[in-house]
Amino acid sequence: MRKFYSFSLLMLLSMTLCGIVAVAQSVTVGNIEYFIQNDGTATITSGDSARDNVIIPTGVKYNGRIYIVDEIAPQAFMHNNAITSIKIPTSVKWIGGSAFYRCENLTFVNGGAETLDYIGQEPFDHTPWLAKLPAVDGLKYWKGWIIGTDLSGRFDDLYVRDGTVGIVYVYGTGKLSGKNIYLPKQFRTIEHDYFEVEKFYIDKENPTFFSDDYGNVYHKNYHDRYYSVAEDKEVELKGQMLWAVPTASHDDTLKVAEGTISIPGVVWGINHESIIVPEGCEKVPGCFSYLKRCKYIELPSTLKSFDMYNPEGDSLLKVVLKAKEVPDPPSYFPFIGCSHVTLYVPKESLEKYLADSRYKGNFKEIKAIPDDAPLKVDINGDGKVNAADVTTVYNYIANPEATGLTLDKVDINGDGKVNTTDITDLYNIIHMK
């Protein structure tokens, strides 16, 4: 858990509890300001007065007690052009965002723990030291983190060095963009804004994340906390969560992992033709935005909260929502950009959905899920339903024995024959016509 939240907040606490217990205290030692706490630790809050070669001590003494320096707060040395070098003790485990941002004469950084617990975004941006830091396969490593890149254009395969725990977003270098990225077992910080890749491959021994066959990334822990660097806050995970998705073009279905209870907001850039969210999932807040090629989304009966934002273009045509009770959308801009989308809901709940102006006012049409045929028919048994199943029916018509399929499997409409009518029915089932 991050210890330094806000200098002003802690000072307020200190004043509020004054006379009861000494919670925290701001002190200046040399030309560096520290925030000391009862747990025996100290956070550097300002190095604005620091000059030339700065040596951060392992500990600072106050009222006869030594406080271990374990954190550099966000923006602590930002815009200090008077410092030329910095030596960081191994006791420092956290470096906040923009801690040394635009220290334009900082040419040398030394010391520090072998692997830092946390580094905020753009900690050394616009410093001569970062500019000259050597890159390995286009990535600049420091203390177990990627803190910059010199990659130009898209990559085919990018292997992150073993032992790397995270990546720091650097605005000047943009996103890591390419085909495949391979992450080691120690990697624990994934933020979707950092990546624009087709597939993620996670080491199977990674205790935090796993990747599926589609290259999606999931968090393993059902009850854990994940630190979001970009938002600078902790987000409680209540179930497996889809965290990053590929940007490649796929003709198949994106199946969210079984056991997923909630999907985080703003999951975009999905290029699958269809998306299936499993039973048990309860929340889909602000997800599946800016879809590229997706035509069909299927949502479970367990859904309690549902929101879509601006599906891109006219590709998305059908959303099947199996929840009998109307999920609660947000009051602000619910389902924006869905005016061309038909929503299918349980037959017995159709009137409820039609009576809700938030739904009726945003979707093109709201219809009952057909009960005379399954939503999807996997003819070839590959676990997917797409054009390949249509091809299988064509092949059966041409040469039934060659397909190895029985009539009951291929007879979509149940009339005892297999012909172009079955193909039409299958196509309509796939696309919910």
For the stretch 12-68, pLDDT in tens is 434 443 433 444 588 899 899 998 888 899 999 999 999 999 999 999 998 889 999
Question: Which of 108-122, 185-199, 204-218, 250-264 is predicted with the least confidence, judged by mean pLDDT?
Answer: 250-264
Q: Which residue has the higher pLDDT, 179 or 13?
A: 179
Burial of 357 (0-12, 13-18, 19+ CB in 10 A): exposed
pLDDT at residue 112 in the model? 84
pTM metric for this prediction: 0.61
Q: Would you state the structure tokens that stand for residue 187, as one six-digit string?
A: 């990697």
Domains annotated on the chain, with CATH? 1-121 (3.80.10.10), 133-228 (no CATH), 249-369 (3.80.10.10), 387-430 (no CATH)
What's the rounded Cα separation, in Å, for the pair 7 and 96?
13
The predicted model gives 229-252 an average pLDDT of 46
CA 402, 408, 411, 412 torsion-angle sign: negative
Buried b (16+ CB within 10 A) or exposed e, 200-215: bebbeebebbbbbebb
**What pLDDT, on a 0 to 100 scale, did the predictor assign at position 9?**
39
Least confident range of 82-96, 145-159, 285-299: 285-299
